[in-house]
Structure 1
Amino acid sequence: MSSKLDQLFHLSERHTDVKTEVIAGVTTFMTMAYILAVNPNILSASGMDQGAIFTATCLASMIATVLMALLSNYPFVLSAGMGLNAYFAFTVVGQMGYSWQMALAAVFVEGLIFILLSLTHVREALFNAIPTPLKHAVSAGIGLFIAFIGMQNARLVVNNDSTLLSVFSMKDSIKAGTFHTEGITVILTLIGVLFTAFLIVKKVKGNILIGILATWVVGILCQFTGLYVPDNVSFFSLLPDFSNGIHIQSLAPTFMQMDFSSIFKPEFLVVIFAFLFVDMFDTLGTLIGVSSKANMLDENGKLPKIRSALLADAVGTSAGAVLGTSTITTFVESASGVAEGGRTGLTGLVSALLFGLALFLSPIFLAIPSFATAPALIVVGFLMVSSILKVDFDDAAQSIPAFICMICMPFMYSISEGIAMGVISYVVINLFAGAEKRKTISPLMYVLAVLFAAKYFII
């Protein structure tokens, strides 16, 4: 069995083995399993059936990830993209007044356009046109971005009217009587970060996965001892609930429910473009960042077989719309599996299998709290941000755009916005930095810069 997997996924060639790939696949799934709880909650605000969304999310994630594994042999895992699901529910349906069936139609069409772009080398050309310093900056920016998401999920970082953001106040939590819900989970997150860091220092194999499970187990012990008290509103029991038995939620309420009646209206084309734009550059950003961290780029900074990877992403989006979920995209949390040593499609195949198992064992996966996965995101952020060291900071024309690209991702809460700012600043700075610097700007970079600028001032 091991030799067959080696032949299929070229494990030896990529200096990995079955055990490493399995651990990486489980780790990636554990760090993104939250989507199975979050996506149904968000999309149900549009009127969709929550149980059907859960099933659709599992199936679409499994299909897209299997395609990624078999077509590209890369350790990337896909699922319903965060941000795009909120745009689907709260903007397209909530504010613009379209039905969720029409929104699904927009996602489906966007996926078809993506497939065409992938087959015609357009997306591949976009990837290859981005200069190497920006690719390293994207990797580092994603690291900062997912670390910030981890801190938010754990409530280490909270909203503040005067400074926008601030640190969680334990004193205020005790005074408000929320220590046994919010306060204790913040402490558990910090414990999880330190424990995972200790495992990394000691070079323990599977350190990130062990950190997730250990933090969850400590949380369960806190619940048994009364230190953690679920309020069933924002903080739920950490124990899996099998009171309703083991069954798969029906897909019928969302399957093939797309409504194409408004597809040719000008304002609806804007909706399709918005899905297309965000998905394209979030996916490109994730592929650039994660593949750069895994040293998968060739000597020219290109990702071999990128067309296959992009095609899997595009097909996954249309398949997701047919099943009943918002845009499927490559997840930045794939970085956690890469950090564990995952280098082939076997990593993705393991994650896809777990998405399939989640259909039957949803109470277990939905019981994993955000404070248990937050330490993994924070630590992976540390591992990814080191990519910025590959940028030559003695060359300001290269390093300043890289810096702008990196910091804009967490500050603007968007991978695509970070790429946009990086591209615009790179073109402008190098355009006026002399003839030699202008040679580093490809024609497509000029086109991208104009389009990105138009996005902010015209579209």
Structure 2
Amino acid sequence: MKEKLDRLFHLKEHGTTVKTEVLAGLTTFVTAAYVLAVNPSVMGATGMDTGAVFTATALVCFLGTLAMALLTNYPFVLVPSMGLNAYFAYTVVLGMGYSWEVALAAIFVEGVVFALISLTSLRDKIFKAIPLNLKYAISTGIGLFITIIGLKNSGLVVSSPATLVSVFSFSGSLADGTFSTAGISVVLFVAGLMITGVLMARNVKGNILVGIIITWVLGIVCELCGIYVPDPAAGYMSLLPDFSNGLAIPSLAPTFMKMDFSRIADLGFIVVAFAFLLTSLFDTVGSLIGLGAKAELLDEDGNMPGVGRAMGAESVATMIAGALGNSATCCSVECAAGIAEGGRTGLMGLTTGMLFLLSMFLSPFFLAIPSFATAPALVIVGSLMASSVLSIDFGDPTESIPAFLCFVGMPFCYSIVEGISLGIISYVAINLLAGNAKKISPMMYVLAVVFIVKYILI
């Protein structure tokens, strides 16, 4: 078996082993499994059946990641986008008034167009057009983006009307009686962060995954001792797996092939599909660059061989998502956790995909892993990815300023695409006005105009 896997995924060539890839895939799954809980909740706001969305989410993750693994042999995982699902639910359906069936049709159309782009030279032109310093900035920005997600999921960083964000108030939680839920969750996150950091410092194999499991077990102990008290109404669930409803898989029937193309000629529909396309395209390109850099998949010019196949896998996954009843997919930034564990091939993705498939049967177990246990992994991985900032040329303002806007834009705008947008527009503008027009490729001009138009129309 090991020999067959080595031939299929070229493990020795990439300096990895079956054990390392499987462990990396397991780590990625644990850090990304929250989509199984979050996505049905977000999509359910439109009136969609949450059980069907859960099953569709697991299937989309499996099929999309399988396509990525077999077509590219890259350690990337495809999941429903946590940004596009919010746009789907709160903007397109609840805001613009389209039915969720019409929104699913827009997702499918976007996937078809994405596939056509993946088959042309446009895919390589877009990837190669982005300057090397911006590519390093994208990797750095994704690291910061992952970090803010981890800090937010942990509860340590909270919203503040006065300062936008603030640190969780322990004294306040003791005063209002929420320490047994919110307070202890933050304490466990901090403990998990320290534990994972020590494991990494001591070079413990599988340190990120071990850190997640130890933090979860500590939470279970706290619940059994009454220190952590579940409060489902406030979003603090029991940390113990609940198998009271058995292992039945929710039916796909309520959302399967429910796409409504009756409004495909409407200008509004076209704008919505374009918004999905633009976000998916640059979410994918940004993630491929950032994650590819950390997995050492980029060549000396910062390009990734076979990027077209990766984008093709993404488009296939998005079309499948529309058909099954889900939002557009993206390359999960959480797979950086698996890359940090040594994942370098499609075997890592295949492992993660299989676990998503199995999650349909064991959803109570996987969904019991709390966000405070996975948040430390996101912060640690964020710190590893942010190291790409050291490769940026800060001696040249025409390179450093756009790079800076790119990597700070991602966490501050809470969007990979917005960070890329700020970087590209500022790069073109600054270099053009500074008399460095020769540095700017024609595709960069096109990308800058496209992003400017996006801000005007969307």
1:24-423, aligned counterparts within 5 Å?
Answer: 24-233=24-233, 234-423=235-424
- For 1:38 and 1:405, the matched residues in 2 are separated by 27
Distance across 2 between alignment mates of 1:274 and 1:347: 31
CA positional deviation for 1:452: 1.4
Question: What is the CA–CA distance in structure 2 between the aligned matches of 1:139 and 1:424, rounded to whole Å?
Answer: 18
Deviation (angstroms), 1:241: 0.5
- CA-CA distance at 1:97 after TM superposition: 1.1
Sequence identity of aligned pairs in percent?
59
In structure 1, distance between residues paired with 2:449 and 2:275: 17
1:416-455 matches, cutoff 5 A? 416-434=417-435, 437-455=436-454
Alignment deviations for residues 324-362 of structure 1 (CA, whole Å, 9 cap, x no partner): 111111111111111111000000000001011101000
Aligned equivalents of 2:453 and 2:334: distance in 1? 31
Report the 3-state secondary structure (helix = DSSP H, G, I; strand = E; otherwise coil) of the residue aligned with 1:426: helix
Cα shift readout 1:48-77 (whole Å, capped 9, x = no counterpart): 111110000001110000000000000000
CA deviation vs aligned residue, 1:191-227 (integer Å, no higher than 9, x gap): 0111111111111111111111111110000000001
Secondary structure of the corresponding residue to residue 94 of structure 2: helix
**Structure-2 separation of matches of 1:206 and 1:183:** 28
Residue by residue over 1:161-218, the C-alpha shift from the partner in whole angstroms, topping out at 9 and shown as x without a partner, is 1111100000000000000000000000000111111111111111111111111110
Distance 1:453 1:105 in 2: 26
Q: Distance in 2 between matches of 1:311 and 1:70?
A: 12
Cα shift at 1:124: 2.5
Letter in 1 for 2:211: G
Quote the Cα distance in structure 2 between the aligned partners of 1:318 and 1:458.
25
For the residues of structure 2 that align with 1:458 and 1:250, how far apart are their CA atoms? 38
C-alpha distance in structure 1 between counterparts of 2:200 and 2:228, whole Å: 28
CA-to-partner distance for each residue in 1:88-147, whole Å, 9 max, x for gaps? 111111111111111111100000000001001222321111011001100000000110
- Report the CA distance between 1:152 and its aligned residue: 0.5
Provide the rounded CA distance (Å) in 2 between the counterparts of 1:161 and 1:274.
Answer: 29
Per the TM alignment, residue 396 of structure 1 is displaced from its structure 2 partner at its CA by: 2.0
Write the distance in 1 (CA, Å) between the matches of 2:413 and 2:113. 27
What CA distance in whole angstroms lies between the structure 2 residues aligned with 1:207 and 1:395? 38
For structure 2, the residue ranges without an aligned partner over 5 or more in a row are none
Q: Structure 1: 5+ residue runs without aligned partners?
A: none
Equivalent-residue separation in structure 2 for 1:392 and 1:275 (angstroms): 33
Structure-1 residue corresponding to 2:20: 20
Return the alpha-carbon distance in structure 2 between the equivalents of residues 367 and 202 of structure 1.
28
Number of residue equivalences: 457
Following superposition, the deviation at residue 458 of structure 1 comes to 4.7
SS of 1:159's equivalent? strand
Equivalent position amino acid for 1:172 in 2: G
In 1, Cα distance between equivalents of 2:204 and 2:124: 37
**How far apart, CA to CA, are the structure 1 residues paired with 2:265 and 2:456?**
24
